[in-house]
């Protein structure tokens, strides 16, 4: 199921990766402030170029599907299918020559995410999963880690850009540190979720994220044996705070954050 959609998504991810690898080599990357009122909310010409490339590929194959992308207005076609796209997650990292950024492509059917693809261009890695199939990295099946002790776990945290997200992230940071955990802030939640699905991270806490940041990554984690849930029981794509983990650590993290 979703074989044709997966082929198209992988093609789009490969094209995005090629463009971003080329762009990453440029010494000067002009950065513009999106003026959303958020902290350091930047965009580059590569965000737009990659988005156009992805949308061109998808619309050529599925012209009737709806589209939701970070750098453009939604295209709400009368369809039960919606593509959810972040052309460049980790724009600040990318613009400063830090090789931690990602492209995220998800497909929802009747509001359920059924396909997810995340590309890490610098590493030449492409992760993918569909609703009924396990997560793969460059074609090889992967699984979440087997870590069971929270104190020795590698936990990522996404602070994002809004003042509210930063405040919540700071409180979360303090809770983790008091529990003798040293959290990591990498600056690209899509990349974090991909790495969690392959066992490189054990858990992630992320705050105030948009659907395009997390839709594909959450499916990758689930299909790799992990778990994703809202700290307050909210809808996953719009929750204030989410936890993703290898499932074994999940109850421990939720208890800690709910204190």
Residue 216 to residue 45: CA distance in whole angstroms: 23
pLDDT given for residue 37 in this prediction: 47
Would you state the pLDDT for residue 77?
77
Helix/strand/coil percentages in the chain, nearest 5: 35, 25, 35
Residues of the chain with pLDDT under 50: 35-38
In the chain, the domains with their CATH numbers are 3-141 (3.30.540.10), 150-257 (3.40.190.80)
Q: What is the reported pLDDT for 160?
A: 64
Strands 133-137 and 140-141: antiparallel
For residue 125, how many other CB atoms are within 10 A of its CB?
17
Q: Which residues pair with 127 in a beta bridge?
A: 118, 137
């Amino acid at each position: 199921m979703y074989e044709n959609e997966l082929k198209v998504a992988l093609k789009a991810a490969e094209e995005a990766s090629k463009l971003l690898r080329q762009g990453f080599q440029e010494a000067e990357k002009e950065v513009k402030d999106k003026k959303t009122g958020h902290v350091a909310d930047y965009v580059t010409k590569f965000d737009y170029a990659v988005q156009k490339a992805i949308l061109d590929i998808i619309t050529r194959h599925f012209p009737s599907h709806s589209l939701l992308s970070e750098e453009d207005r939604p295209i709400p076609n009368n369809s039960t299918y919606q593509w959810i796209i972040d052309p460049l997650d980790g724009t600040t990292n990318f613009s400063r020559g830090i090789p931690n950024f990602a492209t995220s492509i998800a497909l929802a059917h009747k509001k359920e995410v059924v396909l997810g693809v995340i590309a890490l261009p610098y590493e030449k890695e492409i992760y993918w999963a569909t609703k009924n199939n396990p997560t793969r990295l460059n074609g090889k099946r992967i699984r979440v880690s087997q870590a069971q002790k929270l104190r020795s776990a590698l936990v990522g945290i996404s602070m994002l850009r809004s003042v509210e997200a930063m405040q919540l992230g700071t409180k979360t940071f303090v809770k983790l540190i008091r529990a003798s955990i040293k959290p990591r802030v990498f600056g690209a939640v899509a990349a974090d979720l991909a790495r969690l699905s392959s066992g490189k991270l054990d858990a992630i806490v992320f705050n105030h994220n948009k659907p395009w940041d997390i839709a594909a990554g959450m499916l990758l984690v689930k299909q790799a044996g992990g778990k994703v849930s809202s700290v307050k029981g909210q809808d996953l794509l719009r929750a204030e705070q989410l936890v993703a983990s290898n499932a074994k650590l999940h109850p421990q993290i939720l208890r800690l954050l709910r204190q």
